[in-house]
Amino acid sequence: TDEGKEVWDATKSNITTEKKSRLKDYNKQKEMDIKAARDKAEATRTEIAAKLKVLSDKLNAKFKRDSDSITKEMEAISNNKSLSKEQKAEKRAKLKSKRQKLSENRKAESTKNSTDMKTERTKLATELKSLIEKARETYTKNKESLDANYDAKMQNEYDNIKEQYTAPIKSKGRKKK
């Protein structure tokens, strides 16, 4: 009947509006979860960069101290009048070798620190991707569940309205013979 159609249209509209509202809430939660994961990742990236800078600064300061010490030793050798030219040259060569070794060690340590930080950043990126994927999967599952629930609700309401507003069928009387 026309009244049944009007009731169905209103009911359908209400159910659809309610479903859209819940879906919007699920989407908002997904976006909040993703933003929280990204914010955490950004903070961790900043910590990693700061940690690398501290390690680098310490390494550079140690190298500078050791290098300055070698420079002072070289000056002392140059100013030492009791050493022959050969002895001075030999001691300078040893100190240059020592400085070269320091430089190599500094470079190796710097490379190790950079590699360690890169590994941490890669681990962080993998974790972030995982968290984002989880948020999206949760949203998809919630949406599928919501769709199923509201489809069932819609069908149930439709059946109720159809039952309530269907015009009774008038039976034709049998002709008696």
Helix (H, G, I), strand (E, B) or coil at 80: coil
pLDDT of res. 93: 95
Distance in angstroms (rounded) separating the CA atoms of residues 78 and 144: 83
Distance in angstroms (rounded) separating the CA atoms of residues 136 and 33: 9
For residues 136 and 31, the answer to whether their CB atoms sit within 8 Å is no
In single-letter form, the type of residue at position 8 comes to W
Average pLDDT taken over every residue of the chain: 90
Q: Is the pTM of this model over 0.85?
A: no
pLDDT band for position 53 (50/70/90)? Answer: very high
pLDDT digits (tens, 9 = 90+) for 71-104: 999 999 989 999 899 999 999 999 999 999 999 9
pLDDT digits (tens, 9 = 90+) for 134-166: 999 999 999 999 999 999 999 999 898 888 877
pLDDT of res. 8: 87
pLDDT of res. 123: 94
